[in-house]
Amino acid sequence: MKKLRDIPLLRIFHRLYIEISKPAPLNNFDNYDEYWESRVNDGRVHRHRDRFTIISNLIRHDESVLDIGCGDGSFQKHLMEKHPSCRSLGVDTSAAAIERLHHQNINALQISPQMRLKEQIGEHWDVITMMEVIEHIVDAEDLMHQVMEMNPSRIFITIPNVGCIKHRLRLMFGGRFPITSIFYHMKEHVRFWTVKDFKQWSKAMGLHIISIHGQFDQGDKLVKFVVKKWPTLFADRVVYELTKKPN
């Protein structure tokens, strides 16, 4: 007799039940150096993500790429394999993360949140990426203004989608706030967007959305289909390709 967990729909509903009912993570950390040390120790680094494939497929081989909030450098490693002729730089506020990247001979720079990005980086970049970054920032508007000051041709932003069906069900039936791709503590994320909210926000910021993609990292084929087909409702993380609105 086939085990219940081997039946695709029951497996999906079981995972959904866990998402709806599990307690919020409250494993405290003092700063993002400690955060990245914990991720290294827990084996939560150097993983390929679907967003890497989505974004690299939209980048040309001759473009320069600045990755803000580069973390463990996984995207840069993927980009070097996919487009070895691309010039790239990863920047992060975490000294521990940048030190590890230097040991791996990855082009990276530690930045200070007290200085404007343009003052610290200076060069022109065709593409700027910010993957799972702006949800950690209280003043995401100021960060976006700094990015736009560098006049990239395109910007890629990936963020959790608080409008995903599992988050709606968690709030409705579990009575718990959504856990939006959080690793250790709920304080990791201070800003939240649905796709509709992000469309409004990007328009207010003077940005035009070129394309929207649902990110799918694991699960069944049915889940992958609905995530890619209807990211607004089914993707727990979304990739946005943007450009500045013409004056």
CATH code (residue 110): 3.40.50.150
Whether the pLDDT of residue 6 is over 80: the answer is: no
Lowest-confidence range among 9-23, 154-168, 203-217?
Answer: 9-23
* 8 domain residue, yes or no: yes
* 159 domain residue, yes or no: yes
The structural domain count of the chain equals 1
* 244 domain residue, yes or no: no
Instruction: Average the pLDDT over 12-18 and give the result.
Output: 82
Which pLDDT does position 204 carry in this prediction? Answer: 97
* 245 domain residue, yes or no: no
Range of the domain at 46: 4-233
The pTM of this model reads: 0.92
**Of 204, 153, 152, 158, the residue nearest 181 (C-alpha):** 158
Tokens 């709606």 correspond to what residue?
A: 168
- Amino acid identity of 141? E
Whether the pLDDT of residue 7 is over 60: the answer is: yes
Chain segment 197-206, per-residue pLDDT in tens:
999 999 999 9
* 192 domain residue, yes or no: yes
* 20 domain residue, yes or no: yes
Tokens 């100021």 correspond to what residue?
A: 142
Instruction: Average the pLDDT over 163-171 and give the result.
Output: 96
Chain segment 207-234, per-residue pLDDT in tens:
999 999 999 988 788 889 999 999 999 9
* 238 domain residue, yes or no: no
Which pLDDT does position 46 carry in this prediction? Answer: 74
More confident: 71 or 16: 71
pLDDT band at 23 (very low <50, low <70, confident <90, very high): very high
Contacts of 6 (CB under 8 A, 6+ apart): none
* 239 domain residue, yes or no: no
